[in-house]
Amino acid sequence: MPKTSTITVACALCVGEVPERYLGAALAAISDAVDVLVVNDNSGRSRSANVETLEQSAFAARGALHIERHAFRDFADMRNAAFKQLKALATPPDWVLFLDADEVHGEQVRYIAREILPRLGARIGSVDAYTYNFFGSYRWITEVARRFMFYRYSPGLFWVNPIHEKITGLRGDALVLPYVYHHYGNVVPPGLLARKHGKYFDLGNRVPRPTSEAQANANVFFAETRRVRPYAGAHPRNAGSILARLEREWAAEFAVIDAGFRSRRTLLMRLAASARAFNEDARVRLRYLEHPLAYRATNSAR
């Protein structure tokens, strides 16, 4: 799609060796909101399933895809290698979308990129929103969490911390919008969840040693029973086909997880989860009052 804004929006994305099941949906969701996509492929392969998905995207079709390969050291280094590509663009972007390959936006991301970002004054240096964090299956979430989303480009920005990486050098205030998108990174087979937690642990995450990938089963999900609560809302339109396919492929696994959460959640857990849900929903809705003219679209996943 041709550029339809007075500003340029880029996205700096990172992919690895594990096939990203939600990558195609994530790319389709942002194709009208982002002008150029730079990717750090740290899979260590000359060609991977993730690169094939990237090459089939709208970004590749319009010549707006740039991929470089860098070995993985830690998460900050990974982000910095992706960000470095922005400096090499012929024209630097005005704003950058922060995105993981397992996050799928709703249609409002285009509204934010094309209508809100161009009219923000210089005092705003970043834009935050919220994510539904799914866990185990598409019927459970752990929280609605505030999420770093867009940031104003500057060549001096830098990522720090080998895990739970953070950007440094941002100037200006953060505008927080009442927009919620979908994070599916923890809806994966138990072995992959254990592998991810194991990588975090090896990089210094101060938690008990996670279950090994070979020993992982549904119990890696049930350990978080106290935190989960049901989700019955809509999913992004661009995620529909992949969610339907995985619902079929993982039907047996999802049945075990869903039944396990339902049976393990005590009355006290359910009451506590309801209180958290009320608090998180109120927090999002209060953003409408904080900046009543900044965000006029309805908050719909579609």
pLDDT digits (tens, 9 = 90+) for 243-291: 999 999 999 999 999 999 999 999 999 999 999 999 999 999 998 888 7
Rounded Cα–Cα distance for residues 2 and 265 (Å): 50
Tell me what pLDDT residue 6 has. Answer: 82
Contact by Cβ (8 Å): 15, 65: no
Tell me what pLDDT residue 301 has. Answer: 47
Tell me what pLDDT residue 297 has. Answer: 57
pTM: 0.93
Tell me what pLDDT residue 86 has. Answer: 95
302 pLDDT exceeds 50?
no
121 or 292, greater pLDDT: 121
23-30 helix and 240-249 helix, angle to the nearest 10 degrees = 170
Long-range contacts of 246-255 (CB under 8 A, 24+ apart): 246/21, 246/187, 247/138, 250/137, 250/189, 253/189, 253/190, 253/218, 254/136, 254/137, 254/138, 254/139
| Share of residues in the chain with pLDDT > 90 (%) | 84
Rounded Cα–Cα distance for residues 190 and 200 (Å): 16
295 pLDDT exceeds 90?
no
Task: Read off the tokens for 215.
Answer: 């020993």
Tell me what pLDDT residue 126 has. Answer: 97
Tell me what pLDDT residue 205 has. Answer: 86
* Amino acid letter, residue 206: R
The structure tokens 């830098």 sit at 158
The mean pLDDT value of the chain amounts to: 93
Number of Cβ within 10 Å of residue 143's Cβ equals 18
Q: What angle do CA 118, 92, 162 make, to 5 degrees?
A: 100
SS3 of 162-216: the string is CCCCEEECCCCEEEEEEEEEEEEEECCCHHHHHHHHHHHHHCCCCCCCCCCCCCC
CA nearest neighbour of 11 among 49, 53, 51, 67: 67
pLDDT digits (tens, 9 = 90+) for 203-253: 988 888 889 989 999 999 999 999 999 999 999 999 999 999 999 999 999
- What integer is the mean pLDDT of 35-57? 94
Q: Which DSSP symbol is given to 240? A: H
- What integer is the mean pLDDT of 72-85? 95
Rounded Cα–Cα distance for residues 43 and 279 (Å): 40
Tell me what pLDDT residue 230 has. Answer: 97
Tell me what pLDDT residue 4 has. Answer: 54
Rounded Cα–Cα distance for residues 108 and 179 (Å): 8
Q: Are strands 137-152 and 229-230 parallel, antiparallel or unpaired?
A: antiparallel
pLDDT digits (tens, 9 = 90+) for 175-193: 999 999 999 999 999 999 9
Three-state SS at 218: coil
207 or 129, greater pLDDT: 129
152 pLDDT exceeds 90?
yes
Q: What angle do CA 276, 184, 44 make, to 5 degrees?
A: 140
- Beta bridge partners, 72, equal none
- What integer is the mean pLDDT of 125-138? 97
